[in-house]
Structure 1
Amino acid sequence: MDKRNVRQRIINLAIKQIRTAGYQSISLRKLMSKLHLTTGAFYKHFRNKSELFYAVFDQISTQIYINIYDQVGGLVDSNPKKALYGVAKILLDYFVNEPYLVDFFLYNSQIENGHDFLKGGQAVVNIFDLIRLILKNLIEQYQLAVTIEELYVQAWAFLNGYGMLLRNGIITVEDQLIKKTITMLIKGQKSHPE
């Protein structure tokens, strides 16, 4: 059996398990049993569960990045406000339709410094770099008096808060609310003559 095929089968099953029951439900013994393999076979491909999670993290982040870039990549320079709206819609959709994936990707303590781990052009860096580029372009286009980091925190605070409300069924997606919030975010950061 091809070693890469076994490694990918382990990753694929872990992703499936994460999507349906959450990353906390991953048991190496049960995972390998479903693949009709031993835990010894697992250790031929991964040093430990954390290494598996990093591989899963990389694959999931690649899928999310491709999804985002396919939909908003052409707007990043020409219309960063619309690009930010597109990113918000996509990420909020993940909160609603892939809640366990969001938990794994954004809130997984077992992927400590996961965003730092996958450096060097890997997809996870690209997702957050793409968002930073959109915000940089917003700052330049609208002449905002804010740093990228400040705007980044404000944008993520909105997305995470709204996403959690959606995920818990407290509210539903309202396009106008997203658009209005982005507009208010921009207006609140406009340069004011002193």
Structure 2
Amino acid sequence: MNSTEEKIIAKAISLIQNNDYTTLSLRKITKMLGMTTGAFYKHFKDKDDLFYSMSIELSRDLAKQLSFDNIDKTTPFEKLVKISEQFCLRFETQPHLMTFLFFNPSLREITYTENNPFDFLNLIKNLISQVNHSNTTDSDFFIQIWSFIQGYSLLIKNKMTRYDAELIKITLTRLAEDKN
């Protein structure tokens, strides 16, 4: 990635920190950058391509911020709980950014695959494979965990409930229990 692409990504990320990403048009992005749409198209094929690149960058940043590699005594389950808690809290403090990162249309094709460029997703997948003691596949277990985390986060974001750390721990514990 060249420096112009990095600048475009950084500026677009700064725009969505305080605004709903659905209001972010290509015209607004290029105007804020002082560039033409033609110049934009030299770096990205369309807005979805930019959104995809932004998602990779945001995922990388989130994984770095939430990584617990330096804590040797923390179990994978404890790491998953802590990351889930932080994820929910970020929906309270950074709702536009988190909504973009996990629900923008450029992510429609993302699946539970081994090779993907999303560091945060890979961090979660790795923890889930270590925590899964049920008789379900890692991909199905991921869907169960991820559905709970995202759904609960959206309830918090929309102020339909308040954050409850104990609820996260209890729910993840129940999902992780051996169901044989």
| Shorter-chain TM-score tier | 0.7 to 0.9
Say which is worse superposed, 129-138 or 173-182, in terms of deviation.
129-138
Write 1 or 2 for the structure with the bigger share of helix. 1
Change (3 A) 1:76 1:49: farther
Q: Distance in 1 between matches of 2:95 and 2:111?
A: 19
Cα distance, 1:110 vs structure 2? 3.4
Identity of paired residues, percent?
27
Q: Distance in 2 between matches of 1:114 and 1:150?
A: 15
Partner of 1:112: 108
Q: Deviations over 1:122-180 (max 9, x none)?
A: 3x0x32232222222223xxx43332123212211211221111001122111111112
- The number of residues matched between the two structures is 180
Q: Distance in 2 between matches of 1:113 and 1:46?
A: 18
Structure 1 stretches of at least 4 aligned residues deviating more than 4 Å after TM superposition:
74-78, 118-121
Partner of 1:132: 125
TM-score, normalised via structure 2 length: 0.85
Change (3 A) 1:7 1:131: closer
Query: Which ranges in structure 2 are unaligned for 5 or more consecutive residues?
Result: none
Q: Distance in 1 between matches of 2:20 and 2:72?
A: 33
Pick 1 or 2: higher relative contact order, CA cutoff 8 A, min separation 6.
Answer: 2
Query: Which ranges in structure 1 are unaligned for 5 or more consecutive residues?
Result: none
Partner of 1:145: 135
Q: Which one has the largest radius of gyration? A: 1
Change (3 A) 1:137 1:76: farther
Give me the CA root mean square deviation. Answer: 2.6
Residues 140-179 of structure 1: matches in 2 within 5 Å? 143-179=133-169
Cα distance, 1:53 vs structure 2? 1.4
